[in-house]
Structure 1
Amino acid sequence: MTAIDVCYWNYAHGGRTHANDVGEGGNYNFEPLCRVIGEDDRWPHILILGEADRYDWDGGAGKWGAAAAMRAAGGRPYTPLMCHLPRDWGDFAPAIFVDLQAVEVWRFRQPHQPGYAARRRNVLEARIPGRADVWRVVTGHGDLSGGLQRLLDAQELRPLANPEFPCVIGMDWNSTPSGPQWEHRDLDQYDIAWRRANRILWQHGQAQTGPFRPDTRALDYLCGYWNNGRRDGGIGFHWVAELAGDTTPTNLPTATGRQQATIDGFIVNEPWRDAIVPGSYLVQQLDPQHPESDHCPVRVTIDV
């Protein structure tokens, strides 16, 4: 077997300076990317960047610039694969950087090309050079509109639970699974309704005034709901943080005072449930003086 290091980081706007959600911003600064991802020389074989902001513009200057910067900093010779998000989200889709010396890309489909379908969005089908067995690395981004849309997106991931192909999915889910160790517990403390709305399970009538319940349906659909100390249901995926017994939050404190939670992370299907290398799961802590993003990188090693 072969150990493959995978890292997911929702790196704010992919390093675009002074960027914001309406598309403004300046040039890229890849120094923080190299410093964080290359910490302790732990360059992953597969790196998923959660916000590859405009990386495909201008002939792919962003994605190739990021790859070149990491290589110049002593990193791996990455090849970037540009991902896509549904419903015209804009230019914030993730990118998957692959070290082709360690991982062979078998298939990676792009929109508007033959054979593309929504169920194949952002699905890297890969194998170890010299081996025939195929496995999958997948990404996306939890919708900010609310839990219903996140649930619908999670349902599109259903075919990836197929145990014939080992699979890991890493993203910012913008939610958590159910369970007291994961759920947001500060929903009743929000004094601005629109800040709370995308986190709560929306209910009609009197329930709209609280107490509020977190909307965990997306990850519960995939991994099962929390029931008396265990997961029941689900479609065959497992929350890697839970397998590792690590509840470290992945988002940083904000001025709004929101609760930190584990909203970034990986799920694996059944063939890889026992393939996580013990002790390899890590929420990498950022320098509080220079965090570079409002999310921490999440790392794991899988014995493929």
Structure 2
Amino acid sequence: MVRVPIALFNYENGGRSPDGGYDFSRLQCAFADVDEPPALILFCEAKNYRDHAGVAKYAAAEALSDALGVPYVVELGSMPRGPLPPAIFYNPNLLVLRRWWNQDDPGVYDDQRNVARFAVRGSSRTPEERLEFLAFVHHWEPLSGDVRLEEAKRVGRYGGPEPLPVIGGGDFNGTASGSHLPQGDWVAAPFRQRAHKGVLGSDGTWGPDTRALDHLIGEWDENTHQRRDGCGFHAVAEVAWRADPSQPILPTVNAGVDAGGGLLVDWLLANTAMADHILPATYQVHVPDPGHQPPSDHRLVTVTAEL
């Protein structure tokens, strides 16, 4: 078995400053306390990384390589609504990239965008026998739960019966159902912000709009503490929580960013074939030192799979 550490991080504006420059020292700080260098980083908000011959994306990869002591290769994904596409960084000594549709590639379907096919280099000496897995990264619509549900439906096919292990994640800009998850005070935010991730119930009270995540992982049943239906994905945060319920599921947005409190919006999801390879004790939401400025508005999330 080969250990494949995986990270998910929404780096605010990709490190881009108002003057157009980039600060990757904060990116390095975000990864300072990882137990082992990630083989794969699912990255959100690669803002303007395509510009100027990709100078920013290569600088980000170089900064991560310098900080973590391993080489990183970077590929940019697709985002139709603005210049903040997701990206993947991977260690070519551990992983072989076999498929990744670029933004303007002809013949690509929407549900294939931002989905990588990897082989694990150490799983076999021969390419034909190497273990493969799929990995996706998305940054869903922040303003509309209806749009997020449509985005979830495009991801749903990878939950099953896909025979390959699948790990995916991103800033999904919403949470799932279940009182065991971080909860917010929905009346603490102005209406406009409340309406982005929340929904007004039939009883006249506000709560989270969980439709998109529930579509993928199933709706939470408070009586059985199980999820019903869904497309076959497992939330890695819940896999870890079930293995050790004494450890609460943490928000992935830093304190003071969202009125009413931070939610779990940066999700790692695994299909059944991948969930069996996840090491639950390695799941971690990296909470920044309260004595220092956080590297980003979102927190780094890491986990390790053995493949």
TM-score, length basis structure 1:
0.90
Deviation by residue 1:229-270 (Cα, 9 ceiling, x = unmatched)? 111111110111011114111111226632111111201001
Q: Which residue of 2 aligns with 1:260?
A: 262
Secondary structure of 1:4's match?
strand
Among candidates 124, 127, 133, match of residue 135 of structure 1: 133
Among candidates 94, 108, 111, match of residue 116 of structure 1: 108
Q: Does 1:166 align with 2:165?
A: yes
Q: Which residue of 2 aligns with 1:155?
A: 153
Bigger shift: residues 180-189 or 100-109: 180-189
Q: Which residue of 2 aligns with 1:296?
A: 299
Q: Does 1:99 align with 2:99?
A: no
Q: Check 1:111–1:202 CA distance in 2 against 1; reply closer, same or farther (3 A cut).
A: farther
Size of the alignment, in residue pairs?
Answer: 291
Q: Does the Cα contact within 8 Å between 2:134 and 2:165 map onto a contact in 1?
A: yes
Give every structure 1 segment of 4 or more consecutive aligned residues whose post-TM-superposition deviation is greater than 6 Å: none
| CA distance in structure 1 between the aligned counterparts of 2:280 and 2:257, rounded to whole angstroms | 36
Q: Which residue of 2 aligns with 1:76?
A: 70
Secondary structure of 2:57's match?
helix
Unaligned stretches of 5+ residues in structure 1: 19-24
- The one-letter amino acid paired with 2:8 is Y
Secondary structure of 2:267's match?
strand
Q: Which residue of 1 aligns with 2:178?
A: 179
Q: Check 1:40–1:156 CA distance in 2 against 1; reply closer, same or farther (3 A cut).
A: closer
Deviation at 1:35, TM superposition (A): 2.4
Q: Does the Cα contact within 8 Å between 1:188 and 1:210 map onto a contact in 2?
A: no
- The one-letter amino acid paired with 2:199 is L
Q: Does the Cα contact within 8 Å between 2:78 and 2:114 map onto a contact in 1?
A: yes
The correspondence of residues 50-61 of structure 1 with structure 2, limited to 5 A, is 50-61=44-55
| CA distance in structure 2 between the aligned counterparts of 1:8 and 1:282, rounded to whole angstroms | 10
| CA distance in structure 2 between the aligned counterparts of 1:285 and 1:42, rounded to whole angstroms | 17
| CA distance in structure 1 between the aligned counterparts of 2:181 and 2:46, rounded to whole angstroms | 27
- The one-letter amino acid paired with 1:10 is N
| CA distance in structure 2 between the aligned counterparts of 1:255 and 1:7, rounded to whole angstroms | 21
- The one-letter amino acid paired with 1:222 is L
Q: Which residue of 1 aligns with 2:245?
A: none
Deviation at 1:213, TM superposition (A): 2.8
- The one-letter amino acid paired with 2:109 is A
Deviation at 1:64, TM superposition (A): 0.5
Among candidates 216, 225, 230, match of residue 234 of structure 1: 230
Q: Does the Cα contact within 8 Å between 2:77 and 2:103 map onto a contact in 1?
A: no
Secondary structure of 1:253's match?
coil
Q: Does the Cα contact within 8 Å between 2:49 and 2:55 map onto a contact in 1?
A: yes
Q: Check 1:248–1:118 CA distance in 2 against 1; reply closer, same or farther (3 A cut).
A: same
| CA distance in structure 1 between the aligned counterparts of 2:220 and 2:78, rounded to whole angstroms | 31
Deviation by residue 1:29-50 (Cα, 9 ceiling, x = unmatched)? 1111122224356321111221
- The one-letter amino acid paired with 2:136 is V
Deviation by residue 1:182-235 (Cα, 9 ceiling, x = unmatched)? 264411333x211111122357xxx5x931232101110100001121111111
Deviation at 1:95, TM superposition (A): 1.2
User: What RMSD, in angstroms, separates the aligned Cα atoms of the two structures?
Assistant: 1.8
Q: Does the Cα contact within 8 Å between 2:236 and 2:268 map onto a contact in 1?
A: yes
- The one-letter amino acid paired with 1:94 is P
| CA distance in structure 1 between the aligned counterparts of 2:34 and 2:6, rounded to whole angstroms | 15
Q: Does the Cα contact within 8 Å between 1:224 and 1:235 map onto a contact in 2?
A: yes
Secondary structure of 2:8's match?
strand
Q: Check 1:198–1:107 CA distance in 2 against 1; reply closer, same or farther (3 A cut).
A: same
Q: Check 1:276–1:255 CA distance in 2 against 1; reply closer, same or farther (3 A cut).
A: closer
| CA distance in structure 2 between the aligned counterparts of 1:40 and 1:224, rounded to whole angstroms | 30
Q: Check 1:100–1:174 CA distance in 2 against 1; reply closer, same or farther (3 A cut).
A: same
Q: Which residue of 1 aligns with 2:23?
A: 29
Q: Does the Cα contact within 8 Å between 1:183 and 1:214 map onto a contact in 2?
A: no
- The one-letter amino acid paired with 1:260 is G
Deviation at 1:175, TM superposition (A): 0.8
